[in-house]
Structure 1
Amino acid sequence: MHICHINLASSYHGGENQTFELIQQQIRNGYEVTALANPKGPLYARLLTIDCTVHPIRHHLLNHTHNFLNKCDLLHVHEGRAVYWALIQKAIFGTPYIITRRIDNPISSKWITRQAYQQASALVGLSKPITQQLKKISKLQAVLRIPSSPVSYPVSEDNVKIIQQQFAGKFLVLQAANMLKHKGFDTSIKAAKQLNSDYPNIHFCFIGDGSERHHLEQQATNLKNITFVGKQSNMGDWFHAADLLVHPSHSEGLGSVILEGMKAGLPVVGSNAGGIPDIIHHEHTGLLTTTGCGETLASNIIRLYNDPALRGQLVNNAHRYLNEVSIESCAEKYEQVYLNAVDNACLVKGKQQKSLKGNIPN
């Protein structure tokens, strides 16, 4: 099977990481893979290092003058603007496509956006809230849920020791995300204020950068239990040096960093928002907190700080859960989606050809 993946993002976040991991697994499974990516984005550079054909696409309106994908069976769209590229490609050449959506906010009501989703052969969401949004816009195509798979990062024991020395004697709580309003760093700061006096050994480390960073640093003024370390390229080292991962987002499609923390052996605490409850099953694979409530986040952190046995239990349960969402499992699920989409596209094409023949006069 020859699949073309499309992700035109100019940045590199969880969605791009998942696109890359799926492509790698499909290559291992014997697929022929083509990828379309923004040449200014980090994903494009990473794709050049693996065994797939990569084409630069700078804009969803460009590169439709010739069908360089004539050997592809299906397009797999991974990013918002790419849905329009796939829609145009289908209109010109009839190439079927599927869409994977990673955010749980409502889909635009614009006519062109609705057309892009309704012309897809199948719609895939990472979590229940996302599939609910997809069902509101779908026509007759299938709407399925295929969660992200956990990603592992390399670990340097020397780097881990450096981090541990930097926070010696601390119970290190990580939050790693782009510093945007909906990511809930403000909730973590509220929790830090609650813990600052009575639990000086609990220390928050914020990994990431973004438009909210300056405002968050102002909120954390005079708090000695928070350190902002900016973006980090060695997440494997940070995961292994830490004791706990928190992800108190106000909204979230799924939360791939939670899966990454679980994979690295960290207990996790997340908010009861968006798709997070799909992967954090309360009291089983992690703990859930009230969205936006620093007090409940603080109490859950205290609970895990005081209960090493519970931390171990959550980690063990999470590892068993991760086996169900491995990249191998996700690739198998996508293969079935692809086969159904291609079969349906051939069926529709056959009906159209039959109809055209029936209209040709004798």
Structure 2
Amino acid sequence: MSVLIISPSGNFYGSEQVLFDYLTDSVLPSSVAINERGLFLKYLRAAGTPHELSGFDPYKLRRFYWRLIRHLALGKYHTVYWNEAGHINYVILLSKLFPGKRFIVHVRIIEDTKTQRWFLKPGSNVRFISVSDYIRQNLPFPSILLYDPFNFEGKEIPPLHFSGPLRIGVIGRLTFTKGIETFTELFSMIERKGLGSMFNFIFYGEVSEDVKESDWLNKNSTYSFVAFAGFQKDRNVIYNSIDCVMHLSKQEALGRIFLEALDAGKPLIGMNAAGIGEVGNMLAMRDLLMEDGKGNDFFEKILEKLIYVHQNREGLYSMVKDAKNKAKEIFSLSDYTATIDKIISG
């Protein structure tokens, strides 16, 4: 086998789930090295893919890469592909040591586009793949734009909940980088205007350390229209309990949460920025996106979107259905697999 695929994280979050889908769909033979301290290696072994699987200890990373250097020197691999940019330093080193080999890096988060992450310019034998145009524009090197696939379920979208308070799901880890500080002022405005009976905000996700150490939870847990449900593994439980999703991050690389919401038949209110804005504009769902802003006017705009969804739930049902059908074509697994196969095989 001349292709080696490396999964630096080894967890089973977004990037590993995408790699899992690719490896179970692709027939291109490859060796796959996975951080053995996560769940990913276990899941792949259970799936019985045709690929050669092995684990490495992240606490002995130098040993793993010394072994890889020997394998490259002996001609075992011609191409190395990383499904995320967590091992940037080693990518640069290998590209300099082996100018005749091909190295491919999938860049998935905005932090990995920062110039300070790249202490040296990688060799010309390194190719980059960006998961969104937002990433591509921020990456200091040319890259191929390739949207991650999304496995849409075949079930029919259920009708929206047309009566009672609008149930708004805020899904994901509670951290300030996801824009949750915005809710403090928003909730205060809803309370002042006496609109609390119109909405139920439900937060699903673990609370990060930076939020725990602040007074954010104390400030926002006293409102009658706000609830904290904690981490919920079953997505169906979440989406069956809400009418729409609110996601106010301005730095989301791709906006997978947008696709999850569409799959469940729920509209998403978010920022017209980064990956969320990119997906919303591609799928003609821009009416529920907001431009960034400050002060009272910005929070008034958020409230306007909430009231709009509250009053137009029935009309939004068909819009969401159309967007989901369009997304199935754009985020196709078979197209993604064929493209990655072509890039890797050269």
Return the TM-score normalized by structure 1.
0.77
Amino acid at match of 2:267: P
Is residue 95–residue 126 contact of structure 2 (8 Å, CA) maintained in 1? no
Q: Does 1:190 align with 2:193?
A: no
Residues 257-296 of structure 1: CA deviation (Å, up to 9, x unaligned): 2112112221112112222221012892252113364332
Is residue 3–residue 73 contact of structure 1 (8 Å, CA) maintained in 2? yes
Q: Does 1:35 align with 2:27?
A: no
Is residue 166–residue 198 contact of structure 2 (8 Å, CA) maintained in 1? yes
Amino acid at match of 1:45: K
Q: How far apart are 1:129 and its partner, in Å?
A: 2.0
Q: 1:170 to 1:12 in 2, by over 3 A?
A: farther
Q: Does 1:325 align with 2:331?
A: yes
Is residue 8–residue 82 contact of structure 2 (8 Å, CA) maintained in 1? no
Q: State how far apart, in whole Å, the 1-side matches of 2:195 and 2:275 are.
A: 33
Q: How far apart are 1:146 and its partner, in Å?
A: 0.9
Q: State how far apart, in whole Å, the 1-side matches of 2:164 and 2:118 are.
A: 56
Q: Which residues of structure 2 form unaligned runs of 5+? A: none
2:150 alignment partner, SS class: coil
Q: Does 1:289 align with 2:290?
A: yes
Amino acid at match of 2:56: I
Q: Does 1:226 align with 2:226?
A: yes
Amino acid at match of 1:246: M
Residues 163-185 of structure 1: CA deviation (Å, up to 9, x unaligned): x9xxx954321121222222012
2:281 alignment partner, SS class: coil
Which residue number corresponds to residue 354 of structure 1?
A: none
> Could you tell me which of 336, 342, 345 is aligned with 2:342?
336
Q: State how far apart, in whole Å, the 2-side matches of 1:218 and 1:154 are.
A: 41
Which residue number corresponds to residue 63 of structure 2?
A: 62
2:258 alignment partner, SS class: helix
2:104 alignment partner, SS class: strand
2:229 alignment partner, SS class: strand
1:37 alignment partner, SS class: strand
Is residue 10–residue 41 contact of structure 2 (8 Å, CA) maintained in 1? no
Is residue 2–residue 74 contact of structure 1 (8 Å, CA) maintained in 2? yes
Which residue number corresponds to residue 203 of structure 1?
A: 200
Q: State how far apart, in whole Å, the 1-side matches of 2:118 and 2:37 are.
A: 26
Is residue 64–residue 88 contact of structure 1 (8 Å, CA) maintained in 2? no
Which residue number corresponds to residue 248 of structure 1?
A: 248
Q: Does 1:307 align with 2:312?
A: yes
Residues 168-208 of structure 1: CA deviation (Å, up to 9, x unaligned): 95432112122222201222343333334324242111111
2:227 alignment partner, SS class: strand
Q: State how far apart, in whole Å, the 2-side matches of 1:331 and 1:83 are.
A: 24
Q: 1:320 to 1:154 in 2, by over 3 A?
A: closer
> Could you tell me which of 69, 85, 99 is aligned with 1:80?
85
1:275 alignment partner, SS class: helix
Is residue 154–residue 234 contact of structure 1 (8 Å, CA) maintained in 2? no
Q: How far apart are 1:24 and its partner, in Å?
A: 2.3
Q: State how far apart, in whole Å, the 2-side matches of 1:231 and 1:106 are.
A: 27
Q: State how far apart, in whole Å, the 2-side matches of 1:86 and 1:319 are.
A: 37
Percent of aligned pairs with the same amino acid = 17
> Could you tell me which of 118, 137, 143 is aligned with 2:141?
137
The aligned length equals: 321
Q: How far apart are 1:145 and its partner, in Å?
A: 0.9
Return the TM-score normalized by structure 2.
0.80
